[in-house]
Structure 1
Amino acid sequence: MNPASLAPGSLVLCAQRSLHAQLGARRAGVTSSRETAWSSQPEGREQSLSLPGNEQRPKAAVVDHPAEPSDIRLIVSDMDGTLLDDDGKVPAAFWPLLGDLHRAGILFVPASGRQYQTLHGIFGEHDGLIYIAENGTNVVQDGVSIDLEPVEPTIIAPIVDWVRTTAAAGADLGLVVCGARSAYIERGDAHFVSQVRQYYAAVEVVADVQAAALDDVILKLAIYDPAFAETRSGPALRGLGLPSEIVVSGQNWVDVMRQGANKGRALERLQQQLGISRAQTMAFGDYLNDAEMLDAAGHSYAMANGHPSILARAMNIAPPCSEAGVVRSIRAALPHLQGEPVSV
């Protein structure tokens, strides 16, 4: 069964034979359609958040001890700027917490713009995780993609042409064509490759990324823009008017995905499959590509170091990633878990 032809809300096991079927259709020039009648997400919250008694809490306040949520069964967390510290490392206090969550029957889900292979390299020795990778376009369990949202093949060439033309005119841009099997780049200089390898463990330098795309299922196209992506590449890509989802996923990255694809949509389908409600879900994020994911959780946390719009959108604000904010917030919210309080 081809995941690109599924109706919205479906969650289907996609083994390797599913990927091969898609590749055969791509080579034969066959494209598939998918309904796009997704429900709209709530609007962003105001810049200050209401508390009991109509008090107003400034968005930068840090919540260390919120009221204990009842029956949390799923915790989903972004990686860069959220779970990972300023050096891009998982805080040491997270690993005993992960064990405590497992014993309590609470599922932890890394949710990232990073490639699945990269996420698995971080968590792979720990069993029982489900990964929301590539900004929600690839959900992986036990090494198998259970939910894929590939890009529309028709948008690949215009994006590739735009990056090539803009770079030829002097802009410092790089393109990553992100497939389920590997990522593909044409630019091979050491600086760009080092940036790419932070997020893509499986990456190939090729002569033509469009040709390479024919042999993989393409999940998204990531544009590297060191001149602040939110104000340059993001608006320029939206101006192309392509039927796609364009999100600024970091200070220097813009992701182009299938229309309607995001971490929140992937989380909603996962909740449905697992029989876990929004009220039983906690979510942590820091940047624009985390917005819909926070909306899909009954207990949402923005990191204190996060983007202003995410700070305004979340129900709670966690300590910064440099202070193990995800770990501290989970420990504070779920004191019944075993383990010692976190010290930083």
Structure 2
Amino acid sequence: MNIKLIVADMDGTFLNSDSQFNSESFQLLKENCEEHQIRFVFCTGKQCERVESIIGELSKDTFIVGDSATRIKYNGDFIYNAKIENKKGKEIIQTIQDIDQTQTVLGCTEKGAYVLNHIPEIEKKIVHGSFQNVTYINDFSEVEDDFLKISVHDATGNCKTTASQIKHYESEVYIIASDDEWIDIADLGVNKGTTIRRIQRLLQISPAETIAFGDGLNDIDLFKAAKYKVAMDNAYPELKEEANLIAKNNDEDGVVQTLNLLLGFK
């Protein structure tokens, strides 16, 4: 197995159910990878800044594909941004709000995530779990910049229904219900797989030299950029069908354990 690029989703994959990880085991893995010229990528719906705050100094020399694959950050610098034009983004947001006023909608730009200030406190905690820079507003008309992505959180788990109701926008933007509670909307043609291919071209690494870990439906696109596809034991059945291998679940440090085994580090 000739691996040169490791790509891991975060929530439900690298992070445990408390949104934490074993820093000692990951640091050792990362050091071993660096000795063998293997690069590491986190690919997530979280803001890049939020990923940096979670993994701290271990973000050094790590590619962060954040905001649902609309941005690439490396050692403090953004090297890629994909955007939805402001007017179109606001139109989509209004359509979602007309469908269900109880869902939490986030409009994410280069400045951070914008969310309406009247959302319940429990929703604010969920928002801050994924977004480091958050601005509360009265109305999305206040947002002047183009959008990196639009996200929807529905605590009732109705996102697949909502996604089907905005399906008519699929000729203009990429729409994915990554699980029952989240929808992510990005520029047309932008998803985890296409953004990882950008990194592969940059590093001159092929899909045949890439291993990817995931648990959600949006990781199906990620798997298209990797020869070695590893679904977590807690993954959606649809993703497991696409996988070559099933790892231990995210509460058992499944990513690190699997890599140590496959790469022969211990």
Q: TM-score, normalised by structure 2?
A: 0.93
Q: CA RMSD in A?
A: 1.7
**Contact 2:234–2:249 at 8 Å: present in 1 too?**
yes
1:186 aligns with 2:119: no
* Aligned amino acid, residue 174 of structure 1: T
Structure of higher CA gyration radius = 1
Output one character per residue of 1:63-121: Cα deviation in whole Å (capped at 9) or x when no partner.
xxxxxx12x11101000010011211112422221222122221111100111110111
Note the 1:1-344 alignment, pairs <5 A: 69-70=1-2, 72-92=3-23, 93-126=25-58, 127-168=60-101, 172-188=102-118, 189-212=120-143, 214=144, 216-239=145-168, 243-335=172-264, 337=265, 340=266
Deviating above 6 A after TM superposition, structure 1's stretches of 4 or more consecutive aligned residues are none
Q: Kindly, what percent of the aligned residue pairs are identical? A: 27
Query: Quick one: distance in 2 between partners of 1:210 and 1:258?
Result: 20
In the alignment, residue 94 of structure 1 is paired with which amino acid?
Answer: F
Structure with a larger share of its residues in helix: 2
Aligned residue pair count: 263
For the residues of structure 1 that align with 2:95 and 2:184, how far apart are their CA atoms?
14
Query: Cα 1:242–1:276, aligned 2, differ >3 Å: closer, same or farther?
Result: closer
Give, in whole Å, the separation in 1 of the partners of 2:19 and 2:204: 33
- Runs (5+) with no aligned partner, structure 1: 1-68
Greater strand content: 2
Alignment partners' CA distance in 2, 1:141 and 1:241: 30
Q: 2-side partners of 1:210 and 1:116: how far apart?
A: 25
Partner Cα separation in structure 1 for residue 117 and residue 98 of structure 2: 14
Identify the range of structure 1 (302-311 vs 248-257) with the bigger mean alpha-carbon deviation.
248-257
1:139-171, Cα deviation, whole Å (9 max, x unpaired): 111222111111133421222212333344xxx
8 A contact 1:77–1:83 mirrored in 2: yes
Letter in 1 for 2:12: G
**Cα offset for 1:181?**
2.0
Q: Distance in 2 between matches of 1:153 and 1:217?
A: 4
Unaligned ranges ≥5, structure 2: none
